[in-house]
Amino acid sequence: MSNDFPLYFDPALFAQQQRIIKAEIGVGLIPRISEFVNHENTSLLIEFSFSKSELGFAMVQGFISGSVIQTCQRCMQDTEVVVEQPVHLIMVTAQKMELAQREGVEIYEYDGQGIETVNLVADEVILGLPIVVKHEELDQCDPKTKQWLQGFNDEDKASHRDNPFAQLKDLKIK
């Protein structure tokens, strides 16, 4: 982990100072993400810049990018999943939630204390991961799975029947 990556940060202070965080962090160092990946030796590039919103709230903008290895749900083999998660958040306490909703930007609620940086990163990465993980192309899946899925699709095509209501389109109502 880079020395520029703080363990905790105060959103108001970082926004006032217009701080920038640029770091590369190993997925294995983010426990909530490591639950979703097969190999923890990959890393993510994090770039956050802090500023104030129009209404004066602490705001963080940036991105998280990299790739992780997950299990394809079709063939149960490893597949590389690209993470390209933009971040655009307003940091607010519960007392200011109603006012912050006027900004029209996603809100990250915190308790007024420092925010644990890895938790913020984990939240955003998890939002960016696919709900159903699979290889981009069926050709990348295990050959037996590919053959089975292609056979399944052929059966669907063969069992396709005419719509019984298709004849109704020819009837005219007077």
Locate the domains of the chain by residue range.
8-136
pTM, entire model? 0.76
Contact assessment for residue 6 and residue 20, using Cβ atoms and an 8 Å cutoff: no
For residue 94, the one-letter residue type is A
Q: What is the pLDDT of residues 88-135, one digit of tens each?
A: 999 988 788 777 777 778 888 888 788 999 999 999 999 999 999 988
- Please tell me the distance from the alpha carbon of residue 106 to that of residue 85, in angstroms, as a whole number: 14
- Digit-coded pLDDT (tens) for 56-99: 889 999 999 999 999 998 888 899 999 999 999 999 887 887 77
Q: How many CB atoms are located within 10 Å of the residue 31 CB?
A: 12
Q: How far apart are the first and last CA of the chain?
A: 76
What is d(CA 167, CA 70) in angstroms, rounded to the nearest whole number?
48
